[in-house]
Amino acid sequence: MCVLGFASLVFGVSGLRAVPSQSLSIWPAASDLPSIRLPRIEAAPMNTAASKTKSNTSCDLDRSQQPAITPRSSHASVTVVPGGAFNGVSGDDQGDGGAVQGSVRPPGSKSLTNRALVCAAFASGTSRLTGSLVSEDTEVMIASLSKVGVKIESLDAGRTLVVEGVTAADSAGDELNGPPIEMFIANSGTTVRFLTAALSAFGGKYRLSGVDRMHERPIGDLVDAISPAIDGSITAVSDGGCPPVEIDAKGWSGRSMSVAGGVSSQYLSGLMMAGPIASKPIELKITGQLVSIPYVRMTAKLMEAFGGQTDWDLEASQAIRVSGSYSACDYAIEPDASAASYFWAAAAVSGGRVTVEGLSEDALQGDVGFVRVLEQMGCEVNATDHSIEVVGGDLHGVDVNMSEISDTVQTLAVVALFADSPTRVRGVAHNRFKETDRIGNLAIELRKLGAQVDEHEDGLTIHPLPAEASSGHGDPVEMETYNDHRMAMSFAVAGLRIPNVRILNPACTGKTYPEFWADLEKLTGRPHHWQGGLTEKGKT
């Protein structure tokens, strides 16, 4: 049965450079994490007790041993043009230098597109996914699924995907004697984690590899969860339990698995989505605290739309039972809420007013909760059942656990620069394992703007930018993006307020939002300044 539900969700709320060498633990103490029940995100006033973490992970990365971060893919840079009441221009002015005002509809959600692709790929029948994201992360998912025999037709410039699923009968049994099917998953965490689970359940011989950074991002806990249940073998090849992943299997023979939740929720989501592909009910036990919980609820809702069933009571038993099988579905994908955070932040830092269309507070994506943090900081939030508007106000620092909305930490850190008191971000130790170290490298870059930023094991304290720093620097400040789309998009928000913020490798937004720069230009009504030969394709 196809359920197009937008169920309500309670908020819980690379240039070449050696990374600093330090030991890293990523297992936050229970006291530092949100309770397993989804709380509404409450950003407390600053100055609550500092958090503690303990080291207890099989996925520690010895960063002194890591290769250098992937080089920048382009030598271009972009400087967005500041504006707003804070730069001597009335907040009511439109156009050049004015506060950011307007509305925008971001492209489809990466998380929903890649989930819907997996469920549709292993469903009986033909699904139609509308509002899909067209970006690197979805392209590598589509290319990989196509290699398993899934037929995916792209209409409307990729925004509609017609997916003809494969079933267990089509499983790649023949390939078991031949070489593995090679899949390139770039730096897409959702793709490698979802497919590792799904393909091991489906059966066949596969090798999933990506860019250098992907080979530093942990997947060992997922491989460890699958190993005892697999009829065959599964290996994470790189040191510390990181991709490439090699699978040689006839599917899953076990029915119960245990997975650690503290490094990434994508492991659990992957196992959940793989359950119906394994064609028999399974039970998943979560060990330790679970990060990014709203994504797991999103997984359950998405699966439901395609006929997968999940029965879970995280609070009582930390266990999820998965059953059912997938059947084709027409599914409408929400705009991306993490992408929306940059536009809401643009209103916050420029004293403007921005409406994001196509999202409501009932969205499946927990990142819509970002607006409630902005509200705690002093912004006004006006939500309807199809849009969320943020109106800038006087900004105050907050103390907030962002474990549930960790993709918006960089956005919030930039907004925090313009508050009148410090902001403490907690609960995001796992952010060190994303496209780059989103704690350490974020602190390095924000300091370039003149901010005092304290790095903690589980987050950051961002102190307000001194007045002289927010009025700009004579020379451009070059902001490294580490090939991390969210660094680039967040620094664009800083550039809306601070003159001469030059963002390197802007094309890295292509991971989830190739049209970001064009959409921001449209919203601000003023062209950015491009340097260094970025092509029109790169720009848009």
Ligand X SMILES: O=C(O)C1=C[C@@H](OP(=O)(O)O)[C@@H](O)[C@H](O)C1
Q: Is residue 490 involved in binding ligand X (CB under 6 A)?
A: no
- Cβ-contact 344, 374 below 8 angstroms: yes
Residues in CB range of 162: below 8 A, 6 or more apart: 126, 127, 128, 129, 152, 153, 155
Q: Is residue 188 involved in binding ligand PEP (CB under 6 A)?
A: yes
List the structure tokens of 144: 């990989």
User: Would the annotation count 406 as a binding residue?
Assistant: no
List 269, 318, 441, 524, residue binding ligand X (CB under 6 A): 269
Question: For the window 469-488, what string marks contact with ligand PEP as x by the rule CB under 6 A?
Answer: -----------------x--
- Cβ-contact 511, 133 below 8 angstroms: no
Residue 430 interaction partner, one of ligand X, ligand PEP, none, beta carbon < 5-8 Å per kind: ligand X
Q: Where are the alpha helices (DSSP H) in 122-162?
A: 136-147
Q: Is residue 372 involved in binding ligand X (CB under 6 A)?
A: no
CA gap 406, 426 in Å, rounded: 10
60 by DSSP, 3-state: which? coil
Q: Which of residues 381-440 bind ligand X (CB under 6 A)?
A: 406-407, 430
State the amino acid at position 450 in one-letter form: G
* Cβ distance to ligand X smaller for residue 269 or 318: 269
Q: Is residue 111 involved in binding ligand X (CB under 6 A)?
A: yes
Residue 423 interaction partner, one of ligand PEP, ligand X, none, beta carbon < 5-8 Å per kind: none
Question: For the window 148-187, what string marks contact with ligand X as x by the rule CB under 6 A?
Answer: ----------------------------------------
Beta strands in 392-472 (DSSP E): 399-401, 423-426, 453-456, 459-462
Quote the least distance from Cβ 512 to ligand PEP, whole Å.
5
Q: How far is CA 80 from CA 164, 497, 502, 518, in A?
A: 42, 9, 8, 11
CA gap 414, 490 in Å, rounded: 7
Residue 265 interaction partner, one of ligand X, ligand PEP, none, beta carbon < 5-8 Å per kind: ligand X
User: How many Cα neighbours within 13 Å face the side chain of 379?
Assistant: 32
CA gap 388, 391 in Å, rounded: 10
Q: If you count them, how many residues does the chain have?
A: 540
User: Would the annotation count 266 as a binding residue?
Assistant: yes
Part of the chain binding ligand X (CB under 6 A), chosen from 94-102, 265-273, 438-446, 531-539: 265-273
Q: Is residue 509 involved in binding ligand X (CB under 6 A)?
A: no
Residue 295 interaction partner, one of ligand PEP, ligand X, none, beta carbon < 5-8 Å per kind: ligand X
Quote the least distance from Cβ 421 to ligand X, whole Å.
28
Q: Which of residues 389-448 bind ligand PEP (CB under 6 A)?
A: 407, 434-435
Whether 248 sits among the annotated catalytic residues: the reply is no
Q: Is residue 295 involved in binding ligand X (CB under 6 A)?
A: yes
User: Would the annotation count 325 as a binding residue?
Assistant: no
Q: How far is CA 315 from CA 177, 222, 257, 318, 406, in A?
A: 44, 22, 18, 6, 21
- Residue numbers in the known binding site are 110-111, 115, 189, 217, 264-266, 292, 407, 434, 438, 486, 511
Which residues are known catalytic residues?
Answer: 407
Residues within the interface to ligand X (CB under 6 A): 111, 189-190, 264-266, 269, 291-292, 295, 406-407, 430
